[in-house]
Amino acid sequence: GAGVSQSPSNKVTEKGKDVELRCDPISGHTALYWYRQSLGQGLEFLIYFQGNSAPDKSGLPSDRFSAERTGGSVSTLTIQRTQQEDSAVYLCASSFLTGTYNEQFFGPGTRLTVL
């Protein structure tokens, strides 16, 4: 079956503009996660969805960042008034919530460059 997909794969924007990143999780996965990865760094947790609600949004860096999920499926991460420090790869992952591992499956990411 299809894996996690994200769009766009690359996004170049000017400082101060808003951007919207999209994630399509694996069908049937209840949980969805957003992470950010700066060059050569580990993954930084941003937000986690269980169904359409977000029980943990503790990783969102500022109120310029928001995310929503609709229909228990697609999620969008919105960054308003982008800054250069927002440049990173934004990774989405999805998983089941019941089972032995509940390992997270990652999408290919969106590389965001803020000029």
Smallest distance from another protein to CB 71, Å = 20
Instruction: Check binding of 113 to another protein (CB under 8 A).
Output: no
Q: What is the DSSP string of 65-81?
A: EEEEE-TTS-EEEEE-S
Among 104, 110, 112, 114, binds another protein (CB under 8 A): 104
Structure tokens at 22: 């999209």
Contact call for residues 74 and 92 (beta carbons, < 8 A): no
Which positions from 54 to 93 touch another protein by CB under 8 A, shown as an x/- string? -xx----------------------------------x--
Residue 98's SS3 state is coil
Residue 41: alpha-carbon gap to chain centroid? 16
Instruction: Check binding of 107 to another protein (CB under 8 A).
Output: yes
Q: What is the largest CA-CA distance in the chain?
A: 44
State which residue, 35 or 114, has the beta carbon closest to another protein: 35
List residues binding another protein (CB under 8 A): 4, 31, 33, 35, 41-45, 48, 50, 55-56, 91, 95, 97, 100-109
